[in-house]
Amino acid sequence: MSTPSSTQALIDALVRTTGGADSFEAIRIKARGAIAQYRSAFGEPEMPLNVDALASLLGIGRSEEAPVHSDDAELVPDGHGRVTIRVNSDRPETRIRFSVGHEVTHTFFPNYQTKTWCRTDARHRRRDNPDDLVEMLCDVGAAELLMPLPWFAADAKAVTTGAGLIALAGRYAVSREATLRRFAETHQGSVAAVFLSWKLKPTEKGTVGRKEQMNFLDIDPAEEARQAKQLRLDYSIPSPGFASVGHFLPKDKSVENDGPLYAAASTGRSCEGECRLDLGQAAGHYRVLAVPVWTEEADLGPRGENAVAAIVEPLDLKQPKGKRAQTGPSLFD
């Protein structure tokens, strides 16, 4: 049997050898197999999972050298049929742990020892590009390794507040963003993880805050742009129940400067409550668990507000045409 060469061939081989329905199921099968090995070797795991022990168990070394081709981490052949992980030690511990999990996941693909694999910026990936898809799959695998089932699902089921989400992230030593994504992906009811930042409306880019405006209106362009920013949706991760109903949360849709989302952004503290969110087709009343996330100074809101991540549970949304209502556990069950 020939060795797969192209990136797409590696993905296809992974799916074929695991029997998964698609590449995402296939990578989850491999990650859960690795957790089963860990459990067999070390017994019932304590959280946070010792990701370095897992890597060692799988025959993966940890180099003291910094990554050469990535700002975060890379998997490098050692020339003897094995691999080592180089990690940027200047990154926060939660990011380091996720990067190690990401690089471990690269070893779930066939032929992984023949080249250097680098963790890339998730903001610039395209699912239709096989190289980017591999990176996405490695993030999925990292989440499975660092927030493994059934332990994470059991802990997440007890969360009823924004502070509970922060505590959950601390228990698994992962970022708040990764925790909320995993929370939504594993939730049995209808919820979505939403991620919002302060930015201009797409149609305002290039028109608001232009340098030449100061000459005519005596307005500082940078200040004008800063004051025009609103809290807008970057992306969302639906639970299977939310997705199956057909709800769609539009990117760049703004939310009002009130309610739990704005409270978390403006105070820098977690917040929860019920509010109406005008989210296009999915506009309606929601239960919200909101947490602030670290934000670079240039990306703060008009009054220094942070970006926000939240779990939202629809309470009274109309069902999209042709879709039946889905029932399942509530966020607060």
Q: Which residue has the higher pLDDT, 81 or 86?
A: 86
Look at residue 127 and tell me whether its pLDDT is greater than 60: yes
Architecture of the domain made up of 7-146: Orthogonal Bundle (1.10)
* Averaged pLDDT, 187-211: 85
Amino acid 111: pLDDT: 84
d(CA 35, CA 95): 20
Query: What pLDDT was estimated at residue 131?
Result: 86
128-178 pLDDT tens trace: 788 889 999 999 999 999 999 999 999 999 999 999 999 999 999 999 999
Alpha helices by DSSP H, 147-258: 151-157, 162-172, 176-186, 213-217, 221-228, 240-245
| Residue bearing the bigger pLDDT, 174 or 82 | 174
Residue 241: CB partners within 8 Å, gap ≥ 6? Answer: 187, 188, 189, 190, 191, 326, 328
Measure the CA–CA gap between 245 and 155, rounded to whole angstroms. Answer: 26
Question: Which pLDDT score is estimated for 211?
Answer: 58
Contacts of 156 (CB under 8 A, 6+ apart): 168, 182, 183, 186, 187
What is the pLDDT of the chain when averaged over all its residues?
89
For residue 49 the two structure tokens come to 């999972």
Supply the DSSP symbol for 251. T
Over residues 105-121, mean pLDDT:
83
Q: So what's the pLDDT on residue 1? A: 40
Residue-wise pLDDT tens digits, 243-270: 998 888 999 999 999 999 999 999 999 9
Domain-by-domain residue ranges, the chain? 7-146, 151-314
Question: What are residue 103's DSSP bridge partners?
Answer: none
The Cα–Cα gap between 112 and 53 comes to: 20
Instruction: Give the tokens for residue 233.
Output: 């949706």
- List Cβ<8 Å contacts ≥24 apart for 117-126: 117/74, 117/75, 118/67, 118/69, 118/70, 118/73, 118/74, 119/70, 119/72, 119/73, 119/74, 120/70, 121/71
Burial class for 67, CB neighbours closer than 10 Å (0-12, 13-18, 19+): buried
Residue 104 clears pLDDT 90, i.e. is over it? yes
Closest Cα to residue 267, out of 304, 227, 311, 298?
A: 304
- Encoding tokens for residue 19? 């029997």
